[in-house]
Amino acid sequence: MELKSDPNEIYAALRKKIIRLELPPESVLNLSDLAKEFDVSRTPIKEALISLQSEEWIMWQGSRFIVTPLSLERIREITEIRMVLEIKANVWAMERITPPEWEELDRIRTEISGFSENSSNQSIIDFDFFIHHTIFKIAKNIQLAKILERLLSHYLRFWLSIPRQIDHSVFFKEAIELIEAIRMKDEPLIRECTTNHIRNSVAQIMGTR
């Protein structure tokens, strides 16, 4: 692997592997093996692992670090927080959007039409994250965006653990409805779209939708 002596780069690389399930839930993280993989000493590895632990990507179990397990309780707690913060972010986006940002949302609608039944779950999930990222950016509150993007990143692991193909037409339907609600400056509809999207996301992850 290309040399990465910066703990932040190691953190980002490991986080990506965890999200994409290349490091599966409950897999063991060995300091010596990671130091060899990244061609660094154990010190930057330890720093990266501490950062991952602080964001609950990994946990200390016994005498070792493991990737945090997927759990229904975890998704429930994250969902409760999203229900409060994401609605506020989307309403702020409605209030603060600029003409150039409308063009960004129009491009998103165009790109959604490019997905098909052959699109991978990874590509669908990545683009959904991009949609959220764009709307959070439009809301113009950097700290709120950071919190929500971290929560959504944890959601990605759950999505990618789904063994079935995601139906892109159903998946992006709510995003299109939200963009239209923002365009209409319809706050009650934005709240409804956001709530429905979060609830339906959980239902799809659980396989109940």
User: What is the CATH number for 60?
Assistant: 1.10.10.10
Mean pLDDT of the chain: 92
Of 47, 67, 87, which residue is a domain's last?
67
Of 52, 67, 82, which residue is a domain's last?
67
Q: Are residues 147 and 191 in the same domain?
A: yes
Distance CA 29, CA 12 (A): 15
What is the CB-side half-sphere exposure of residue 135 using CA atoms within 13 A? Answer: 28
Q: Are residues 99 and 55 in the same domain?
A: no
pLDDT of residue 72: 86
Count of structural domains within the chain = 2
10-residue averages of pLDDT along the chain (209 residues):
73 95 95 94 94 95 93 90 97 97 95 93 94 98 96 89 85 93 97 93 75
Of 67, 101, 119, which residue is a domain's last?
67
2, part of any domain = no
Q: Are residues 81 and 59 in the same domain?
A: no
pTM given for the model: 0.86
pLDDT of residue 207: 67
For 29, the domain range is 7-67
pLDDT of residue 71: 87
Q: Are residues 53 and 125 in the same domain?
A: no
Neighbours of 84 (CB within 10 A): 8
Q: Minimal CA–CA distance to 168: which of 208, 204, 206, 140?
A: 204
pLDDT of residue 208: 58
Q: Are residues 129 and 150 in the same domain?
A: yes
pLDDT of residue 47: 95
Q: Are residues 115 and 94 in the same domain?
A: yes
pLDDT of residue 104: 96
Q: Are residues 99 and 16 in the same domain?
A: no
Q: Are residues 63 and 76 in the same domain?
A: no
pLDDT of residue 1: 46
